[in-house]
Amino acid sequence: MNRLKGALSVLLSVLIALSSMTIVVSLYLQATVLSEAFYLDIIATPTYVTKVKDAILMDFRMQSSYSGIPEEVFAETVEESDLHTMLRNHIHSVVLYLNGQAEYTEPSYPIEKIIAPLRSFLDEHAGENGYVATPEQYALLDAVAADTAEIISRHVCLIDLRLVMNIGMFQQALSMLRMVANAYVAGLVVFLLSIGLLAALYRRNLLMWLRGIMLGLWFAGAAFLVPATVLAATGLTDRVAIVTPYLKYFVDTVLTQSNQFFLMFGIVLFIVATVTLVYLGYTKREKQLDKEKFIHTAIKIT
């Protein structure tokens, strides 16, 4: 009977560990991967949009080399405020798609903002060199403007879902992601149910009941804390091989903050459970000693 009770206790502790892990992972997904606020916080960093613009200007240098149009002309076509608005809209669209609430729409920079300065340059260039720009040249210019708009849109597109959204494996992973993100209710139910069953198992022993809960939480805490600590120690999250500065900042921040999330929960669960278990160990021993002392006294009296 005691063995069965012990086995049940272990099983319930495992369930507590698994359900608490599910709750933490679910909270993580809700608070980071599927949260618009999380991404907006990253791009709200003062230098972030400037970094995006610098990367765009770097590509404009290439565009200038191919088209013969000075970099300054291209630089006039892009404003940081426009980039910020585009980034916000893009993140909004991505998060809606990830949550299954809307179709994904690609970011696109208004080509009109590019065509005007390019045509102005062509007219000026034609005037200086004594020729009149032909419709063919204007058409070529429009093609350059379309390429330029594509460059801007590409840099604004932080998470390019076009590349993966038609891949079956991605869709499977996405549906699993959504499922886990919504699993916190199920996790909570299993968690409370396990606690209730443990209470029923140890009706007259509060300490054993607490011990069963804390054992589960200790394992869950360790399962988060140890890998997160090792990952932080290796510094892998800061060494992702991305050359583009703003993209590297974005990916580094997402990875680092994700790791910190698990580290924080791991530390809390681990410390609380460890302290409680040690305390319970002493308390249990004290209680046992008290019982034995009572017996001794009884013997003494007789």
Is 121 a residue that touches another protein (CB under 8 A)?
A: yes
Among 57, 89, 227, 283, binds another protein (CB under 8 A): 227
Angle at which helix 206-234 crosses helix 2-28, to 10 degrees, equals 40
Give the type of residue at 60.
Answer: F
Measured between alpha carbons, how far is 41 from 27 in angstroms, rounded to an integer?
Answer: 18
Pick between residue 184 and residue 219 the one whose CB is nearest to another protein: 219
Are 270 and 218 contacting, i.e. CB atoms less than 8 angstroms apart?
yes
Residues in binding contact with another protein, number by CB under 8 A: 46
Among 19, 26, 67, 253, binds another protein (CB under 8 A): 67
Is 226 a residue that touches another protein (CB under 8 A)?
A: yes
Is 289 a residue that touches another protein (CB under 8 A)?
A: yes
Give the type of residue at 89.
Answer: N
Site for another protein in 35-54 (CB under 8 A): none
Are 38 and 32 contacting, i.e. CB atoms less than 8 angstroms apart?
yes
Is 271 a residue that touches another protein (CB under 8 A)?
A: no
Is 218 a residue that touches another protein (CB under 8 A)?
A: yes
Is 230 a residue that touches another protein (CB under 8 A)?
A: yes
In 3D space, the residue among 104, 109, 110 whose CA is nearest the CA of residue 91 turns out to be 104
Is 245 a residue that touches another protein (CB under 8 A)?
A: no
Measured between alpha carbons, how far is 87 from 279 in angstroms, rounded to an integer?
Answer: 52
Residue appearing with tokens 């093609």: 143
Q: Please tell me whether residue 99 adopts helix, strand or coil conformation.
A: coil
Angle at which helix 80-98 crosses helix 36-43, to 10 degrees, equals 160
Window 69-98: contact mask with another protein (x via CB under 8 A): x-----------------------------
Among 100, 110, 196, 281, binds another protein (CB under 8 A): 281
Pick between residue 200 and residue 236 the one whose CB is nearest to another protein: 236
Measured between alpha carbons, how far is 193 from 13 in angstroms, rounded to an integer?
Answer: 11
Give the type of residue at 26.
Answer: S
> CA of 37: how far to CAs of 24, 43, 143, 279, in Å?
19, 10, 37, 40
Is 295 a residue that touches another protein (CB under 8 A)?
A: yes
Pick between residue 64 and residue 93 the one whose CB is nearest to another protein: 64
Closest separation in Å from C-beta 99 to another protein: 27
Closest separation in Å from C-beta 67 to another protein: 6
Among 7, 61, 173, 182, binds another protein (CB under 8 A): 61
Burial class of residue 147, CB neighbours in 10 A (0-12, 13-18, 19+): middle
Are 109 and 156 contacting, i.e. CB atoms less than 8 angstroms apart?
yes
Closest separation in Å from C-beta 244 to another protein: 12
Closest separation in Å from C-beta 107 to another protein: 22
Contact residues toward another protein (CB under 8 A) are 61-62, 64-69, 121-122, 125, 129, 137, 140-141, 143-144, 218-219, 222-223, 226-227, 229-231, 234, 236, 239-242, 278, 281-282, 285, 288-289, 291-293, 295-296, 299-300, 302
